[in-house]
Structure 1
Amino acid sequence: MVKMVVLYKQPENSELFDEKYFGEHLELNAMTPGIVRSEISRFFDLRGGQTEYYVMAEVYFADRDALLFALKSPESKAAGAQLQSFASGLATFHFAEVIEA
Structure 2
Amino acid sequence: MVKLVAIYRMPEDVEAFNKHYEEVHSPLAASMPGLLKLEVGRVYGTPMGESDLHLIAEMYFENQEALNNGLSSPEGRAAGKDLRGFAGKLVSMYFVEVV
Give TM-score scaled by structure 1 length.
Answer: 0.90
Q: Residue 96 of structure 1 corresponds to which residue in structure 2? A: 96
1:46 and 1:34 map into 2 onto residues whose CA distance is 33
1:57-82 CA-to-partner distances (Å, cap 9, x unmatched) read 00000001101111111101111111
Offset of residue 5 of structure 1? 0.5
1:83 and 1:97 map into 2 onto residues whose CA distance is 22
| Paired residue secondary structure (2:4) | strand
Give TM-score scaled by structure 2 length.
Answer: 0.92
Identical aligned residues as a percent: 39
Offset of residue 46 of structure 1? 5.8
1:96 and 1:5 map into 2 onto residues whose CA distance is 7
Q: Give runs of ≥4 in structure 1 deviating > 2 Å.
A: none
1:36 and 1:54 map into 2 onto residues whose CA distance is 23
1:98 and 1:4 map into 2 onto residues whose CA distance is 10
2:46 and 2:85 map into 1 onto residues whose CA distance is 32
Offset of residue 83 of structure 1? 1.8
Structure 2 residue ranges without an equivalent (≥5): none
1:84 and 1:16 map into 2 onto residues whose CA distance is 16
1:14 and 1:27 map into 2 onto residues whose CA distance is 19
Structure 1 residue ranges without an equivalent (≥5): none
1:50 and 1:18 map into 2 onto residues whose CA distance is 19
1:14-36 CA-to-partner distances (Å, cap 9, x unmatched) read 01100100111111111110001
CA RMSD of aligned residues (A): 1.6
1:77 and 1:36 map into 2 onto residues whose CA distance is 18
Q: How many aligned residue pairs are there?
A: 99
